[in-house]
Amino acid sequence: MEPVLLQYHYFSRFEKMRNIQVIIAYCGTAYNGWQIQPNGLGIQEVLQKGISSITGEKTHLTASGRTDAGVHALGQSAHFFTDSSIPIDRFPVAINSKLPPDIRVLKAFEQPLDFHSRYSARQKTYIYKIRQNKIADPFLYDQVYQLPYIVDWDLVNQLSKVFIGKYDFKAFMASGSAVKTTIREIKAIELSQYDNITEISFTGNGFLYNMVRILVGTLLEGAYRRTTNADMKSILNSKERSQAGPTAPAHGLYLKSVDY
């Protein structure tokens, strides 16, 4: 009888389990990135403690992907399993009451048990913010990449079109990443401007380690040196990190949204 009782207990508990997706915004300045770190504070750790304190359960929060130290999010997606009966519309308020002011849960959704924040995602959008001015704004020091020189944004926009499509982006991946393939598809790159700030938006099915920041650095260097589209294509085809430009600073990067 014991195996039958154990099996019944397992399935009855499984039926009570809920899969909660949360959409999160955070300022990454004070954190060592998303992931729990042995020698620093990660955003994941702060959120897990906050969720555990309201559910009374040990929580593991799985995100759509990791963000590095200093990188921000406007719409990070993550999920966790719980037996809690807290109404879905109460989760954001309850969790936020346990969080510091630079991390906020914006929305919560009840998802099927097989929903996965990372593996169910179809595409992501990142934006990179650049402020162009000879004098830096002290209130935006950790929010935008501040450039003291003039940028030819028309040329940046023209060069960016080289990267739209499905390619091997190995030249735009930082070392220290183990991936099965370096082929990714960028579906759109768009520029928008307001108040001396330019946003470059990247939408794709996935991004390599530091890929967006290296693309931004390469585009800015390309505009400064009056690089041609053919030169950009050559960098892409080289598959050599040394051929691409510098890595733009982390504090200008935001994970804008994750689509499912």
Phi, psi for residue 14 in degrees, rounded to 5: -60, -35
Report the alpha-carbon distance of residue 125 to residue 12 in Å, rounded. Answer: 39
Matching residue, tokens 């300022």: 27
Place of tokens 């499905």: 166
Contact partners, residue 185, CB within 8 Å, separation at least 6: 165, 166, 167, 204, 205, 206
Q: What is the 3-state secondary structure (H, E, C) of 22-42?
A: EEEEECCCCCCCCCCECCECC
Return the closest-CA partner of residue 173 out of 213, 219, 119: 213
Of residues 171, 156, 147, the one with CA closest to residue 226: 156
| CA pair distance 244, 235, nearest whole angstrom | 6
Q: Which of 68, 102, 142, 231 is catalytic?
A: 68
- Across the strands, what pairs with 147? 132
Does 83 participate in catalysis according to the annotation? no
Q: Give the catalytic positions in this structure.
A: 68
